[in-house]
Structure 1
Amino acid sequence: MSAITGSSSPQSWRRWLASRASLGRLLGVLLAAALGSGAARGYVRIVLDGKKLHWSGDTISWKLHQAGSDDIADDSEKPAIEHAFQAWRQVVGSRIKFQFQGLTGSRNPGGNDHVVVFDETNFSGYFPANSGIVAITPIQYNPATGAILDADILFNGRDWSFSTDRSPGTFDVQDVATHEIGHFIGLDHSPVVGSSMWPYVNTRQWLHRSLSEDDQAGAVAVAPSGVDGRLNGSLRKADGSALKGGMVAAVDLSDGRLVASTVSDKHGDWVLRGLPSGSYAVYVTPIEGSMTKANLAGNQPIQTGFGSSFYGGPTSPTPFAVSAGSVTTTGLLTLPPDGSMSDNTGSVTILNPGQQQQVTLTGSGFGSGLSAWTLSPQVSVSLIDSGSSWARVLFSVAAGASYGLYDVYLSDSSGQLTVFSGVLDVQPPPPVLTGIDPVVGAVEGGTEVTLSGSGFRDGSYVLFGGREASSVTVAGPDTIVAVAPPGSAGAVDVSVHAPDGQQARLAAAFTYATVPVFSQVFPAAGQAAGGTTLLIGGSGFAPDLVVLLDGQELATTWLSANVVQVTTPAHPAGTVDLALRNPAVPDVVVPDAFTFVPEPDPQVTGFSPSRAKDGGGIRVRLFGSHLDQASAVHFGIDPVTAQGGRPAQALEVLDPATLEAVAPAWRPGSYGIKVTLPNGQGVVAPATFQYVPEAGGGAGGCAGLVRPGAPRSGATDLSALLLAGLGFLLVRRRGAGGAP
């Protein structure tokens, strides 16, 4: 199987691509940087050796390289690219569907993964120095049938910067992606200046994000579904030969908008598909000026040696009626000989309904007696002044003008005509975002947020810090209700993205905060006199979390994101609520979490012995006060959280100041001991208990404080030695002279 290699680039770049043996079966279709800007309309099929490139199936899978763009910190390139695919997928009358297969570590173009990747180092080799290429879509295809076998989209991250917020000096990800996806499905560059498939792009440009009727006509032409309206015809040059590669465009006579464009084939025949029902004028003009044959990826013949004209003539174009499922034949049109006039305007003017603006159109060979006009009852153009290579005109857009692209036609006294295709784009006013409520939500997502402003339209989507809202309801032009997605703690931008690509943004408008989660409090009851130390466990505790008991803020000691410690105040006996307050989120209230009781709290001042073998079974005495109501003793607990552990095998109350408990078996390590009373009161011993392996030393030592009144000998002193590694106090008896 053999294939040719072509590109939409200058001939030097095309020769470079063709010279790469490993890419001999590839077509490279690229988007280049320019000083001008384009909008999102127009279609021309990629044709190679008479074969129109197409996918064999209706559903095309794609993956996004997991690294994303080095320029974008909030991962917003992912929803931007997804919405670019969605714009093409939603075209009515087209079978094209896309299936996002998730993130991938593969960045191998040509590997049948259909990868979208930001090439930050030119690992692909597709971006030679000084090429001016912003992005490229390499396509593998079968030259015998035109069937696309593989396609990938590569952003040139080495030479250019990208963003989703139109930062100065950056290219808009969604704008560029929408253009490249046009190539991805088999569309070539368009000679319409305001087209998404116009071969050049400008920084901060956004108009390529959206699709209009002519974009949709291209998607229908690539993969039609059901019946669509069509126009067809044939073109001849003045000498009677077939006109190859002439641009053919249809204008809706009800409002004057440019609806679709294509090029004639090698026989001079042409077909426009996907036309809505209506009445159309059809004109033909050469592909020259800012865009030439070199900008087309296909190798179909392109002729320019003829003049522009309409079916029926420029002054009274013939109307052609189109309806769904119909094919209307326009017949044969013979074009006049080539004249001196040509256009060279490479930028589009954007106006809202009701606006006016002076614009300079550029070209060459402008003669005397110029006149300018449109075919729209809603858009007028007045000639102000002109020279041989320029014409200054005034665009005036009626208040109720239809959104879309409009041509300007210029003729001189000799009857020469030149067409400025799609140079005016009438767009709705951009959305305005003035506020949101609430301004704080949980990092887990799910917060319903009301966005206020103006110019909101159906089909808009909302981003919170680069992540798309899980649900968006446009309640009206001034209200959107969105459900915040999960996020990371901190302030994020909130942006509204209109279907036409315009956006509004509020910087740092929404704060993601962690909502604390309560799991337990120990003890669950304490003395009404106050002074009970509480250990509160859970998750998501911010360092400046505050605990409230019965509405009273307490001094809170933050131990970790899972544990805080407070001391209770004096309070009348009774059960009260406990609340956890993280900054910027609503309080988490735990009803009836703690009970104040009249009885004094139990206290543990020490225990002996302070260690046991991991098999347990040793009797341990606990010393303190108010222990006579103890109902449980737990060994092996976490001394910080009071959680875990195992109850004693046996418990005996010797007196109000002494308990004797049998240590259970437990794994080696240093642990806490806690005592619990039936009413919920409790205490954690002030030192740790050591479990040692069976092969280790036996039980011994005393943990805690020397009991008041302990016997002392004149020849004996008690020295408390701190063993930091074990975290307890070992009391050893020394004999006279200090010998142990």
Structure 2
Amino acid sequence: MRRVNASNRARLAPIALGLSLFAAAALLAPSASAYCRTTSCKGVGTGARCVPVRPTDCGVELFWSKPCVGFSMQKDASAQIDLEDATQIFLEAFQKWTDADCGDGKHPRIKVVNLGPVACNVHEYNKKAGNANVILFHDKVWPHAGAGSTLALTTVTYNVETGEIYDADMELNGANVEFTTGIDNVLYDLPSIAAHETGHFLGMSHSADGTATMFADYMPGSMELRSLENDDIDGICAAYPPGDPIPAECDPTPRRGFETECSPPPIVAEDGSCCATAPGSPRSAGTSALAALALALGLAAKRRAVRARP
């Protein structure tokens, strides 16, 4: 993985070059609380807000506006892992976040629901039609830059004014990466990657705490990211504070309806405010933008040596 960069493309990369001094310091001296949430920074793009506050903090935090959110696995899954197993891994990863202990036995007020497999095998957000929050594998060709250094890419589409998340898709690089799921002969541990990426799905950014699952490093062969640390728990509880029980009738349907196919026919839009743009392109008030982040290697061995779990 590579360090977080200005483009905010959410990716996990197996090769890290040029880690910053800040990252090295975080590895050696992790803070008690250093979580960050992804933000929309007006006039700038995607940023973060952290605890404790950093000089670069800006914008409004990203969030899902409904307490229940749906996701879907692409029906073909991967030659490396079948649909049933892949779905279970991501269900368990989401559950780690939604079951986090916020104190007094309370949990974040957010629920993630499996809406079933979909045929669409690309990332997309349809501003005038239904959608799906898709998790998909690219087994043949990685369609983005950095094919040899990227494990996964999560793209979040959000409202630049309010921070409301409209859509989130995850893509996994099965073309260049050998994922493993068990506890023996671990290479690139899919449950660990899933735990980190589902954090991005929920609006979390990279933590400055070197022990956190949302820290921007992953060491091949490690299963350490499978469970959350206190910093991760503090972050998700701040993002979705405990409250009244989530109603049983809470609707996890994606924005503008649930669609299983790519590029469905348009429907009448609710409003004229949403039009997806690529990172770095001009935006105006009310448009949406894309956010993504990176998980990197490097100095991970030292980090794991000092990491302690409760």
TM-score after normalising by structure 2: 0.62
Partner residue of 1:66?
75
CA deviation digits over 1:428-457, x for unaligned, max 9? xxxxxxxxxxxxxxxxxxxxxxxxxxxxxx
Asked if structure 1 preserves the Cα contact closer than 8 Å seen for 2:218 and 2:300, the reply is no
CA change 1:42–1:177 in 2 (3 A) is farther
Amino acid at match of 1:45: R
Runs of 5+ unmatched residues, structure 1 = 1-6, 15-26, 228-295, 299-343, 351-358, 360-422, 428-740
How far apart in 2 are the matches of 1:74 and 1:219? 28
How far apart in 2 are the matches of 1:177 and 1:297? 14
Amino acid at match of 1:30: R
Partner residue of 1:44?
36
How far apart in 2 are the matches of 1:117 and 1:195? 25
3-state SS of the aligned residue for 1:82? helix
2:85 aligns with one of 72, 76, 80? 76
Partner residue of 1:55?
64
Instruction: Give the superposition deviation at 1:86.
Output: 1.0
Task: Say if 2:107 is the partner of 1:93.
Answer: yes
Partner residue of 2:54?
none
How far apart in 2 are the matches of 1:171 and 1:42? 26
1:187 aligns with one of 198, 204, 208? 204
Task: Say if 2:48 is the partner of 1:31.
Answer: no
Alignment of 1:263-342 (within 5 A): 297=293
How far apart in 2 are the matches of 1:57 and 1:65? 23
Runs of 5+ unmatched residues, structure 2 = 17-23, 42-58, 101-105, 126-130, 245-291
How far apart in 2 are the matches of 1:97 and 1:425? 28
How far apart in 1 are the matches of 2:151 and 2:60? 27
Give the structure with the larger strand fraction. Answer: 1
3-state SS of the aligned residue for 1:208? helix
Partner residue of 1:654?
none
Amino acid at match of 1:116: I
Instruction: Give the superposition deviation at 1:204.
Output: 2.4
CA change 1:42–1:64 in 2 (3 A) is farther
3-state SS of the aligned residue for 2:151? strand
Asked if structure 2 preserves the Cα contact closer than 8 Å seen for 1:42 and 1:196, the reply is no
Amino acid at match of 1:113: A
CA deviation digits over 1:227-270, x for unaligned, max 9? 9xxxxxxxxxxxxxxxxxxxxxxxxxxxxxxxxxxxxxxxxxxx
How far apart in 2 are the matches of 1:66 and 1:200? 30
Asked if structure 2 preserves the Cα contact closer than 8 Å seen for 1:96 and 1:219, the reply is no
Asked if structure 2 preserves the Cα contact closer than 8 Å seen for 1:28 and 1:139, the reply is no
2:168 aligns with one of 151, 155, 161? 151
Instruction: Give the superposition deviation at 1:114.
Output: 0.4
3-state SS of the aligned residue for 1:425? coil
Instruction: Give the superposition deviation at 1:74.
Output: 8.8
Partner residue of 1:121?
140
Task: Say if 2:189 is the partner of 1:172.
Answer: yes
CA deviation digits over 1:577-617, x for unaligned, max 9? xxxxxxxxxxxxxxxxxxxxxxxxxxxxxxxxxxxxxxxxx
Following TM superposition, the consecutive aligned residue runs of length 4 or more in structure 1 with deviations greater than 4 angstroms are: 7-11
Instruction: Give the superposition deviation at 1:8.
Output: 5.9
2:307 aligns with one of 424, 442, 454? 424
Amino acid at match of 1:126: H
Amino acid at match of 1:157: G
Partner residue of 1:687?
none
Asked if structure 1 preserves the Cα contact closer than 8 Å seen for 2:209 and 2:231, the reply is no
How far apart in 1 are the matches of 2:184 and 2:72? 26
How far apart in 1 are the matches of 2:303 and 2:163? 36
Partner residue of 2:51?
none
How far apart in 2 are the matches of 1:169 and 1:9? 25
Alignment of 1:102-251 (within 5 A): 102-111=116-125, 112-122=131-141, 125-130=143-148, 132-166=149-183, 168=185, 170-226=187-243
How far apart in 2 are the matches of 1:83 and 1:122? 27
How far apart in 1 are the matches of 2:179 and 2:301? 21
How far apart in 1 are the matches of 2:166 and 2:82? 33
How far apart in 1 are the matches of 2:109 and 2:145? 33
Q: Percent identical across equivalent pairs? A: 26
3-state SS of the aligned residue for 2:301? coil
Amino acid at match of 1:100: N
Asked if structure 2 preserves the Cα contact closer than 8 Å seen for 1:166 and 1:204, the reply is no
CA change 1:142–1:426 in 2 (3 A) is closer
CA change 1:172–1:349 in 2 (3 A) is same
Q: How many residues align?
A: 219
CA change 1:152–1:60 in 2 (3 A) is same
Q: Larger relative contact order (C-alpha < 8 A, sep ≥ 6)?
A: 2
Instruction: Give the superposition deviation at 1:76.
Output: 2.6
Amino acid at match of 1:206: M
3-state SS of the aligned residue for 1:70? coil
CA deviation digits over 1:277-297, x for unaligned, max 9? xxxxxxxxxxxxxxxxxxx95
3-state SS of the aligned residue for 1:160? coil
How far apart in 1 are the matches of 2:136 and 2:202? 17
Asked if structure 2 preserves the Cα contact closer than 8 Å seen for 1:133 and 1:156, the reply is yes
CA change 1:83–1:93 in 2 (3 A) is closer
Asked if structure 2 preserves the Cα contact closer than 8 Å seen for 1:193 and 1:348, the reply is no
